[in-house]
Structure 1
Amino acid sequence: MSIRHALPADVDTLADIEAASYPPAEGASRQSIAGRVAVYPDCFWLLDEGGEVKAFVNGFVTDMPDLTDEMYDDPHLHTPKGGWQMIFSVVTAPAHRHEGCASRLLRQVCADAKAAGRKGVVLTCKERLIGFYAQFGFVDEGVSVSTHGDVVWHQMRLTF
């Protein structure tokens, strides 16, 4: 298995995995994923085995310290030299869940963000996943200002 960044040819696969993993109000549409890949393909980390994408993480870089709903919708808010790596989704294809795919990708995203000189990594998650992200050093900052998909999210931050 290898970790690589997204290509335009990956958009349909990524959209299918996202649709299989999130309710429609929470997941990114094919159009949204295509827009993100077009603007910041290097902020997509894909776990690939023999041409099969098993999981992916995506987000963008910004100087804003907190994840907001606008970030999901506007890829042009990406600031390549920004201080914070935001994560919008951590997604594993249903057939590959519980194989450690998401963990492997998260370790790589955090290592890459640190190597790039970022201040840290920020994500939001549902309450049931706080423990999962805490094992990577993320700290729960409480309920997020984001209400993306009309869901209560917890903002978690890993500061380097």
Structure 2
Amino acid sequence: MPALTFRNALPADAARCFEIETTAYEGDEAATLEKIATRIALYPEGFLILEADGAVVGFINCGCAYDVVMSDEAFKELVGHSPEAPNVVIMSVVVDPAHQGKGYAKALMTEFVQRMCDLGKHTIHLMCKEQHVELYARMGYAYVKPSPSDHGGMAWHEMVMVL
């Protein structure tokens, strides 16, 4: 088993994260390099990197809001983000396809949830495709509703974890 380490993202991580994002996500659902760089610059505390033997293999990024509107596309560029807000909105949970199936997503999520608890956050919200609803339910998220978002031209489901 490789040595796993977690750390907050640095501006130099943007290109590798973009590479992972575009490899792992379908079509237009992947964030642009600019969006990833913005998320790192504006809220590095909410951008968690997973390294396996020193190589970046996955990440989670988020923003925080007082009022969560999961279908708000501008929020994906952290428009309306307030670092002190109690509600976390995950934008990406992604592991390089070459490293999937090793439990890395669960390890990443476990660390992320602990860090958000340590920051005093109250809830974590995410949107996922139907095939991932059960996975997130096993991680402690409750199903909320089908999302009005059509991000990337796909159907999404909203889920929440109360911390």
State the TM-score, normalizing by the size of structure 2: 0.92
Matched with 1:153 is: 156
Q: For 1:129, which of 117, 129, 132 is the aligned residue?
A: 132
Kept after mapping to 2: 8 A contact 1:39/1:76: no
Q: Give, in whole Å, the separation in 2 of the partners of 1:37 and 1:65.
A: 20
Matched with 2:37 is: 34
Matched with 2:99 is: 96
- Which is further off, 40-49 or 123-132? 40-49
1:63-103 deviations in Å (ceiling 9; x for gaps): 1233222211x324220100111101110011100111110
Q: Give, in whole Å, the separation in 2 of the partners of 1:62 and 1:47.
A: 24
User: Is the counterpart of residue 80 in structure 1 residue 86 in structure 2?
Assistant: no
> What value does the CA root-mean-square deviation take over the aligned residues?
1.2
Structure 1 unmatched runs, 5+: none
Q: Give, in whole Å, the separation in 1 of the partners of 2:141 and 2:69.
A: 14
Aligned length: 159
Kept after mapping to 2: 8 A contact 1:63/1:83: yes
User: Is the counterpart of residue 22 in structure 1 residue 25 in structure 2?
Assistant: yes
State the TM-score, normalizing by the size of structure 1: 0.94
User: Is the counterpart of residue 70 in structure 1 residue 67 in structure 2?
Assistant: no
Question: Deviating runs (4+, > 6 A) in structure 1?
Answer: none
Q: Give, in whole Å, the separation in 2 of the partners of 1:137 and 1:155.
A: 13
Q: Give, in whole Å, the separation in 2 of the partners of 1:146 and 1:123.
A: 12
Structure 2 unmatched runs, 5+: none
Q: Give, in whole Å, the separation in 1 of the partners of 2:108 and 2:64.
A: 17
